[in-house]
Chains A and B, each alone.
Chain A
Amino acid sequence: MNQSVDTRRRNFLKASAAVGGGLILGFYVPTRGATIAAAAEPPPPLDPNAWLRIAEDGTVTIIVAKAEMGQGVYTSMPMLIAEELECDWNQIRIEPAPVAPVYNHTVFGVQVTGGSTSVSSSWEQLRTVGAAAREMLIQAAADLWEVAPPACRAENGKVRHLASGREIGFGALSARAARLPVPTRMQLKDPKRFKIIGRSMPRLDTPAKLDGSARFGLDVTIPDMLVAVVARPPVFGAKLKNLRDQKARAVPGVQVVARVPTGVVVAARDFWSALQGREALELEWDEGDGGKLSSESLLKQYAELAKTPGAVARRDGDPETALAAAAKKIEAVYEVPYLAHATMEPLNCVVELGPERCEIWTGTQFQSGDRNAAALAAGLKPEQVTIHTMLLGGGFGRRANPHSDFVSEAVQVAKELKKPVKVVWTREDDTRGGHYRPLWYSKLAGGLDGEGKPVAWSHRIVGQSIIAGTAFEQAMIHNGIDGASVEGAADLPYAIPNLQVDLHSPTNPVPVQWWRSVGHSHTGFVVEGFIDELAAAAGRDPLQFRRELLAGHPRHKGVLELAAEKAGWGKPSAEGRGWGLAMHASFGSFVAQVAEVSVDAKGQIRVHRVVCAVDCGRVVNPDTVKAQMESGIVFGLSAALLGEITLHNGRVQQSNFHDYPILRLDETPEIEVHIVPSQEPPTGVGEPGVPPIAAAVANAVFAATGTRLRRLPMTVERVKEAGKTVTRKS
């Protein structure tokens, strides 16, 4: 069915003639839902370059408001427009959007890329932009030929008059189309007629990523620019007590050594000199309380807290009574560590600051927050700040910092130096710079009745809130519950009549932040591990056990069954190998994974194969969906098997890839991805591949060895340690 869109309701679809001719089309969607911008604010003026420019040579430039960090938005966003516009795919160019309200996220109300929402939040918006432009081009051709618009059709970058076969290109029509009013009502295509959406279109950003021409933030050079590194505190919250910089200043090439709010900046003509200069600094810090922090003491503190009830995120029935009356009671504690994002491109930011303006080049996921923070640091108005969004050498949430830490600091550095500057974070700076996925402690209890049916579930979560203290606090924390702490746990889909999920949100000086799949990055592991424990305690097959508890959840069940079927669940596993499965819903999508693993005599886990099923609604680019699942699985395996940020005496003990390893090619399993066909609206793919994998592996290790792993990462030491303890069943 065609979908009719009334643009008057949405307002502010505007067209204008491009400089040098051509059609420019803009579109402003008032935000809905959760937003940190006041809903009653008048619509801001449309940016003159809004969404689309059609040049007289037929080139279609599509402005992409989402940051490209690997997830494929520089292709999927153009696909949404091109589907309706009927342009020639080969004539599409892409341009990153500047910061302007027109580019705000249609749900979040700020310009941000995150939450696996680029496609879902742009789905109607960008198709409407394409449809409006198409209707105007058809109208322009109809006017030219003096025929009725319905007698014409747009196809492959041209408008054709059906009866006469006359054709004219979009480029030749663009100036004429620009003078027409924007249609107030238009038809979006019947999905049955989709030619681009649903096809694996080649990624538009690929060629530049293969010949060295792709430009990331770190590749930016501007005239007269210094390169700077910052010596930051060795302990979170420490203050600089004493600075001796004579030796640093003596390093050839070093131009400036100065205090900035985050530490001491050393600036030189080149990176290497700046780094040598920083190494020559003599610094004394007042460590404050941060110097006492350690992961071990935090876990002890969390375990103490978990003995008392927390804020209730969900309560069904009477879990205490049901647990007491259960035929069998199972208890377990799960722990996951702090994790760094470890994007391949370390953080960096280029700033040119003048008295009236501030220009920034960086890879960012959060332009509006960064612009406000930059303005504050520079003493300017937000409108005086320009941000050039470069390609991101990975984001995973790190480059959407609610405090804009790396941008704000770079502006402070530029202010101090009074020169254009590129602030570079070394890998060590990046690893030790904080804003980690929090350390989480989960305490669970489950009860089975005489037939092995689960009758009670209690899940107590302890960990820092990533939202508290940010601009998102008011919108996202309700009744003491940070939704991001309990997501994937409080919305447990399994039918268990008596259930409680409660939360403690302790504070400490370690900066924490969203990390790919956010709260689901811990709850996926915990919930899918513990449900597997209940299945084992009931003596049931993990697949059948879950299926029976998902009666009212066809999409959860659908991915579970598809993954199991494709993996060949139920067939005997090869000698020494075990299979585990896990299913988790996040960001509107449903993902199930079956992992096949073996554990050698030393306790080293090897993941041989992962079969993944995903239901993400209607698929825009199938190959991208597959790529994102593969990516989520590899990313999740790094956390499951290898990654851990620990603190001792307040110091982060890891610094680089030797002690914060990520998965390598020779450790990567075979991965198969299967997509559930769906007509539901599109949902997320960037993050939902991550949450199930650690549980699928832990459950497979249990199947292979009988050892239940409840602590990440599942290193050789942890496997040995867990193998020695008796699994905690009563």
Chain B
Amino acid sequence: MIMLNVNGKDHQLEVAPDVPLLWVIREQLKITGTKYGCGLSLCGACTVLVDGKATRSCVTPVSEVAGKKVVTVEGLKEGLGERLRLAWTEEEVPQCGYCQPGQIMAAAALLGETPEPDDAQIDAAMSGNLCRCGTYPRIRRAIHRAARMTPERSES
């Protein structure tokens, strides 16, 4: 039995300890915004926040996050989540959209630590998240845009 907190909700799960967090979230909890892309931490589609840190859920055994706070794209709500979604919408970032939950979670972790990142910091934080549609120039702009939005206003 593993105790998991996902998006603020506690779950008691009957699951082998080495199953990757990704599949527990997607198949057992049926929260499907977090995506499978590579299974080897190479593409970032599975990115979630674990205690605020961007984490590749496809290579993270579920036992490692027991007792920690896991946030998926569905749980990224007011404040930063709203700013990111607004910025992503204004820049019309998504195309196929499959990688975008992972992109947004990686951006959330970046802005959580570095509220006003420069291009080099964006490169460093975001280059592990692949997008086959090539939305990178817009992702970069959207992160700058989200950073410029007044947190007080959108988080009130």
Q: Which residues of A line the B interface, CB within 8 A?
A: 68-72, 200, 202-203, 205-216, 218-219, 221, 227, 252, 270-272, 342-346, 391-396, 424, 426-427, 623, 627, 630-635, 656-658, 662-668, 670-671
Partner of A394, one of B31, B39, B104, B133: B133
**A341 closest partner in B (C-beta):** B132
Please judge, given known A-B contacts A206-B92, A270-B27, A272-B20, whether A393 and B42 are in contact too, CB under 8 Å.
no
Among candidates A69, A219, A271, A631, residue contacting B32 with C-beta atoms closer than 8 Å: A219
1/0 per residue, CB under 8 A from A, across B73-104: the answer is 11000000000110011001011111111001
Considering the complex, give the chain B residue whose CB is closest to the CB of A396.
B132
In the complex, the answer to whether B35 meets A218 with C-beta atoms within 8 Å is yes
Instruction: For the complex formed, measure the closest distance between the CB of A218 and the CB atoms of chain B, giving whole angstroms.
Output: 7
Interface centre among B20, B84, B133, B140, by most chain A C-beta atoms within 10 angstroms, is: B133
Say whether B129 faces chain A, with CB atoms less than 8 Å apart: yes
Is B50 part of the contact surface with A, judged by Cβ < 8 Å? no
Determine how close the nearest CB of chain A comes to the CB of B62; give it in whole angstroms: 10
B47 on the A face (CB < 8 A): no
Nearest 6 interchain pairs by C-beta: A212-B33, A634-B134, A393-B98, A70-B95, A209-B97, A70-B96
A595 to chain B, nearest CB (A): 15
Across the interface, do B96 and A391 meet the contact criterion of CB distance under 8 Å?
yes
B38 touches A656 (CB 8 A): yes
What are 16 A-B contacts with C-beta separation under 8 Å?
Answer: A205-B94, A207-B85, A209-B100, A212-B34, A213-B74, A218-B35, A219-B26, A271-B36, A343-B98, A344-B96, A344-B98, A427-B38, A634-B131, A657-B38, A665-B129, A666-B126
Q: Within 8 Å CB of A70, what residues of B?
A: 94-97, 133
Please determine whether B137 and A210 come into contact, CB atoms closer than 8 angstroms. no
Chain A: minimal CB distance from B4 (Å): 16
| A216 in contact with B98 (CB, 8 Å) | yes
Interface size on B, residues (CB 8 A): 56
Contact in complex: A627, B92 (CB < 8 Å): yes
On whether the beta carbons of A203 and B35 are closer than 8 Å, the reply is no
Contact of B73 with A211 in the complex, beta carbons under 8 Å: yes
The residue in chain B whose Cβ has the minimal distance to the Cβ of A214 is B97
Question: By the criterion CB–CB under 8 Å, are B23 and A665 in contact?
Answer: no
Q: Is B127 an interface residue (CB 8 A)?
A: yes
Q: How far is the CB of A524 from chain B (nearest CB, A)?
A: 17
Residues of chain B having any CB pair with chain A under 8 Å: 16, 19-20, 23, 26-28, 30-40, 42-43, 45, 72-74, 84-85, 88-89, 92, 94-101, 104, 122-124, 126-140
Residue of A68, A214, A342, A665 near B140 (CB, 8 A) is A665
Main secondary structure of the interface of A (DSSP, over half): loop
Neighbour of A657 across the interface among B20, B36, B43, CB < 8 A: B43
Residues of B near A394 (CB, < 8 A) are 96, 98, 132-133
Q: Could you say which of B31, B37, B129 has the most chain A C-beta atoms within 10 Å of its C-beta?
A: B37
Most A Cβ at <10 Å: residue of B74, B97, B139: B97
Interface centre among B40, B45, B94, B127 (most CB of A within 10 A): B94
Q: A252-B16, A393-B96, A662-B132 are in contact. Are A272 and B23 (CB under 8 A)?
A: yes
> B140 to chain A: closest CB distance in Å?
7
Known: A665-B127, A666-B123. A270 touches B32 (CB 8 A): no
Q: How long is the Cα–Cα vector from A198 to B63 in the complex, in angstroms?
A: 53
Nearest CB of chain B from residue A202's CB, rounded to whole Å: 7
Q: Which residue in chain A gives the minimum CB-CB distance to B75?
A: A212
A666 engages B35 (CB within 8 Å): no
Q: Is the CB of A345 within 8 A of B123?
A: no
